[in-house]
């Protein structure tokens, strides 16, 4: 039995993304994979049950979400509780993937809890961080090194394509022969950062006027109905799978957006779309979302949504497998866990 703990000192760093990607690859190779996402003093913005529910479906697990995401707060010693939780989800499994947090410093309470969990389960540990401009080494290396011999290595996530080669070279140089091994650099993929039409409507406090069945469609880019020299068709035709945000008093731009590959049309400013726009949207099966917010406010809400987007859509799984296969050192990961490749 192998226990693999995936942690980060950052929120929304991609722990679930890595867990699902590794889990699916192992399943494809005939391994029996379990999952555990315990709650230990979670941050307010975290969603352990939501992560566990999505991963449960992605890895075809039969356990109830409550078993996969138990609360370990209070009561018995943490080590005893996590061992018990682990026993319950590890029956007939070859490997169990555990998600958790690590604090920004070794003395942080989250760090101490993560160290205790790793030691209690004799787990190998992979740490995940998001890329920060110019980053060439883990930001919280001291915390990660606190795992000692349990530490398997480091994955850097969401690196812009233009920075990928430089970042790989610098990380390889800096971490070569160091205490922390680089296991992979994952590029920023728009398809993996996408959010759904429904998530967008909720984020901007908008009302979806039609085609509610399209709420799970993925939005990969955003455009606004700004004044431009090009025609609306040429302008909006530059991107596909997009959300278009247009003021309520610009039906001409709304119509132009509907003639291109658009996931949804957002009408800002509180006014309702004219009947002809509604008719065209129905004809094209494009949802229209109406919001009281102005365009600038809508864009700010979308930026916040992008920062917190989680890997909770089945449509992203194939792309994830492709990205991980091309950019992770699976040989080193498997060797560190004592698994044959």
Query: 195-308 is classed in which CATH architecture?
Result: 3-Layer(aba) Sandwich (3.40)
Q: Where does CATH 3.40.1390.20 sit in the chain?
A: 195-308
Question: How far is 284 from 269, CA to CA, in rounded Å?
Answer: 23
Q: Tell me the per-residue pLDDT of 1-29, one tens digit each, with 9 for 90 and over.
A: 899 999 999 887 889 889 989 999 999 99
Q: Where does CATH 3.40.50.300 sit in the chain?
A: 2-192+311-337
Q: Which residue has the tokens 């993929």?
A: 189
Rounded to 5°, angle at Cα 102 from 184 and 12? 65
Question: How far is 36 from 336, CA to CA, in rounded Å?
Answer: 20
Cβ neighbours for 79, distance < 8 A, ≥ 6 positions apart: 116, 117, 119, 120
Which CATH superfamily, name and number, covers 2-192+311-337?
Answer: P-loop containing nucleotide triphosphate hydrolases (3.40.50.300)
Q: Tell me the per-residue pLDDT of 96-128, one tens digit each, with 9 for 90 and over.
A: 999 999 999 999 999 999 999 999 999 999 999
Is the pLDDT confidence value at 45 over 60? no
Strands 262-268 and 242-247: parallel
Other C-beta atoms lying within 10 Å of the C-beta of residue 57: 13
Q: What is the reported pLDDT for 169?
A: 85
Q: Tell me the per-residue pLDDT of 182-236, one tens digit each, with 9 for 90 and over.
A: 999 988 876 666 788 998 999 999 999 999 899 988 888 899 976 554 567 888 9
For 250, what's the count of Cα atoms within 13 Å in the CB-facing half-sphere?
20
Whole-prediction pTM value? Answer: 0.74
């Amino acid at each position: 039995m192998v226990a693999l703990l995936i942690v980060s000192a950052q929120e929304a760093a991609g722990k679930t993304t890595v867990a699902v990607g590794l889990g699916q690859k192992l399943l494809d190779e005939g391994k029996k994979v379990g999952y555990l996402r315990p709650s230990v003093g979670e941050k307010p913005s975290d969603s352990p049950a939501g992560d566990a529910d999505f991963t449960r479906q992605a890895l075809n697990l039969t356990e109830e979400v409550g078993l996969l995401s138990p609360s370990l707060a209070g009561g018995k010693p943490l080590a005893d509780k996590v061992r018990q939780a682990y026993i319950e989800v590890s029956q007939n499994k070859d490997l169990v993937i555990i998600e958790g947090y690590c604090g920004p410093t070794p003395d942080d309470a989250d760090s101490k809890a993560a160290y205790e969990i790793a030691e209690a389960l004799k787990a190998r540990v992979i740490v995940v961080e998001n890329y920060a401009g110019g980053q060439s080494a883990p930001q919280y290396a001291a915390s990660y090194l606190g795992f000692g011999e349990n530490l398997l290595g480091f994955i850097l996530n969401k690196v812009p394509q233009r920075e990928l080669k430089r970042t790989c070279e610098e990380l390889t140089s800096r971490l070569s022969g160091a205490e922390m091994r680089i296991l992979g650099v994952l590029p920023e993929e728009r398809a993996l950062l996408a959010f759904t039409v429904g998530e967008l409507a909720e984020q901007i406090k908008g009302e979806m006027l039609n085609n509610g069945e399209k709420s799970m469609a993925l939005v990969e880019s955003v455009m606004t109905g700004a004044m431009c020299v090009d025609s609306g068709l040429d302008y909006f035709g530059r991107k596909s799978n997009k959300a278009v945000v247009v003021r309520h008093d610009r039906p001409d731009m709304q119509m132009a957006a509907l003639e291109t590959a658009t996931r949804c049309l957002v009408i800002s400013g509180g006014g309702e779309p004219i009947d002809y726009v509604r008719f065209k949207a129905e004809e094209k099966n494009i949802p229209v979302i109406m919001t009281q917010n102005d365009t600038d406010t809508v864009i700010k809400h979308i930026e916040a949504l992008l920062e917190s987007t989680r890997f909770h859509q089945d449509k992203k799984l194939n792309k994830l497998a492709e990205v991980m296969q091309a950019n992770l050192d699976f040989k080193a990961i498997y060797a560190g866990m004592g698994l044959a490749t």
